[in-house]
Amino acid sequence: MAHPAFTSASVALVTGGAAGIGLALAERFAAAGMAVVIADLADGLEAAAARLEAAGARAVLARKVDVADRAALSALEAEVAGAFGGTDILVNNAGIQPGSALFGDPGAWEAVLAVNLRGVIHGTQLFGPRMIERGRPGAIINTGSKQGITTPPGDPAYNVAKAGVKAFTEALAHELRLGAGAHLTAHLLIPGFVYTGLTARGRSEKPAGAWTADELADFAMARWQAGDFYILCPDNDVPRALDEKRIAWAAGDLIENRPALSRWHPDFAAAFEAFVSGD
Q: Which active-site residues does the annotation give?
A: 158
Order of strands across the sheet with 230-232? Answer: 59-64, 35-40, 11-15, 89-92, 138-143, 184-190, 230-232
Q: At 42, phi and psi to the nearest 5?
A: -75, 160
User: Are 79 and 63 within 8 A, CB to CB?
Assistant: yes
Write the CA distances from 140 to 48, 107, 158, 260, integer angstroms: 22, 29, 21, 32
**With the C-alpha atoms ordered 161, 125, 223, 221, is the resulting torsion angle positive or negative?**
negative
**Distance in angstroms (rounded) separating the CA atoms of residues 183 and 132:** 8
Q: At 12, phi and psi to the nearest 5?
A: -115, 135
Q: Which residues pair with 194 in a beta bridge?
A: 211
**Distance in angstroms (rounded) separating the CA atoms of residues 60 and 194:** 26
Return the percent helix, strand and coil in the chain, to nearest 5.
50, 15, 35
